[in-house]
Amino acid sequence: MNVIVCVKQVLDNSSPVKIAKDGRHIDGTNTGYIINPCDLAAVKWATNWKERSKSGEVAVISKNGPSTGKILRECFAYGADRALLLTDLDFEDSDGFATGLILARAIKLLEYDIILCGIQAVDTNDGWVGPVVANKLGIPLISRVIDIQVDEIKKKVTVRRRLDGVNREIVEADVPCLLTVDSLLDEPRYASIRSIRMAQRREIEQHDRISLGLSKEDVGTIGSKTSILELFAGKLRPGRIFIPDSSLPAAERIRLIMSGGITEKRENRLEGNPEETIPDLIQFLRQKKIIR
């Protein structure tokens, strides 16, 4: 089976983030870029599965960005067989909908059984590129996947989905299908020095808007359904400073300052024989509105 992984470059959150002068973009100067963590988990699973099954190929696709070529070569180092870079000035400022359309057009150029997308990117947290791609291709979509089992004979995938809390769900689907994966899917895989060096010599296929059969109205700000009006840094809430009552004795004020104003909790304990304590217990439960 052939696997396609859609990857995105995102800002390295360990680098300082600065908002550009236009107030709608991030200033990428002196900022590092990495593969979106959920996308990297998908790449690792795909290349591990290819080695286990000894069949098919893994292709990675990404839209243009400052360091997209670098992250595609990183995917080569992990074991990807092909890399497609979708680059065009008209693609700039495409939202999740327009990006999904661009990726879907590129995917139609390839043979595929399973398409993997990260559940969301850590920069925008939109999470709707995968669903748009599945919709444009007319294939099943399963989201929030944390484990994948492939049956090549029956042409099916059985996946485990992450629900709220610790709840999980097992879902089966025919291929071709698209899975949006959680970072919990991450499998151990490391790129060797040799594979990193070889990746620098690998060819990256490039496609622009015209080669994908898209018009200017399909992409960029014109083809987007949403737009960013403003980016701004959140304000940090100052911590509350506890000031004890000035009428208290000095020793008590010092004690309260040292404890941050936290007073020792007292236990409500009922002691005695049942005949004496039951009425008090009932009264307590009624006060707390536990019983009527």
**Chain segment 25-42, per-residue pLDDT in tens:** 887 777 788 999 999 999
Whether residue 262 lies inside any domain: the answer is yes
Q: What are phi and psi of 42, to 5 degrees?
A: -65, -40
Is 159 part of any domain? Answer: yes
Residues in the chain, total = 292
What's the pLDDT at 63? 92
Residue 186 scores a pLDDT above 80: no
Last residue of a domain, one of 182, 205, 223: 223
Position with higher pLDDT, 264 vs 134: 134
Both 257 and 156 in one domain: the answer is no
pLDDT of residue 263: 55
**264 has a pLDDT exceeding 60:** no
CATH of the domain at 30: 3.40.50.620
CA atoms of 219 and 72, how far apart (whole Å): 22
Buried b (16+ CB within 10 A) or exposed e, 265-285: eeeeeeeeeeeeeeeeeeeee
Does one domain contain both 162 and 261?
no
Q: Which is more confident, 188 or 217?
A: 217
* Mean pLDDT, rounded, for 214-238: 86
Average of per-residue pLDDT across 224-252: 79
Write down which residue in 223, 258, 274 finishes a domain. 223
Please indicate, yes or no, whether residues 39 and 119 belong to a single structural domain of this protein: yes
Tell me, yes or no, whether 241 lies in a domain: no
Q: What is the mean pLDDT of residues 185-201?
A: 89
Give a yes or no: residue 192 inside a domain.
yes
Residue finishing a domain among 223, 240, 258? 223
Among 44-48, 51-55, 249-253, where is mean pLDDT lowest? 249-253
Structural domain span for residue 272: 250-287
Region 256-265: mean pLDDT is: 64
Domain match, 203 and 283 both: no
pLDDT at 266 over 70: no
Pair (259, 158) in one structural domain: no
Print the SS3 string covering 137-189: HCCCEEEEEEEEEEECCCCEEEEEEECCCCCEEEEEEECCEEEEECHHHCCCC
Q: Which of 167-181, 201-215, 234-248 has the lowest mean pLDDT?
A: 234-248
Q: Give CA–CA dist 162/77, Å, rounded.
A: 29
User: Is 237 among the domain residues?
Assistant: no
Q: What is the mean pLDDT of the segment spanning 146-170? A: 93
- The answer as to whether 257 is a domain residue is yes
Residues 178, 41 share a domain: yes
| One domain for residues 146 and 276 | no
pLDDT of residue 139: 97
Number of domains making up the chain: 2
The answer on pLDDT for 261 being more than 70 is no
| Distance separating alpha carbons of residues 113 and 120, to the nearest angstrom | 21
Compute the mean pLDDT over every residue in the chain, rounded to the nearest whole number: 88
Residue 253's pLDDT is 80
Average pLDDT estimate for 51-60 = 92
Average pLDDT in the 53-72 region?
A: 89
Q: Within a domain: residue 234?
A: no
Q: What is the pLDDT of residue 268?
A: 66
pLDDT above 70 as % of the chain: 95
Question: CA end-to-end span of the chain, whole Å?
Answer: 63
Question: Mean pLDDT over residues 116-122, rounded?
Answer: 92
pLDDT attached to residue 225: 92
As a whole number, mean pLDDT of residues 233-237 equals: 74
Among 48-57, 68-77, 244-253, the minimum mean pLDDT is found in 244-253
169 in a structural domain: yes
* Segment 140-160 mean pLDDT: 95
**23 or 54, greater pLDDT:** 54
Rounded CA gap, 31 and 247, in Å? 54
Asked if residue 256 and residue 152 are part of one domain, the reply reads no
79 and 203 assigned to the same domain: yes
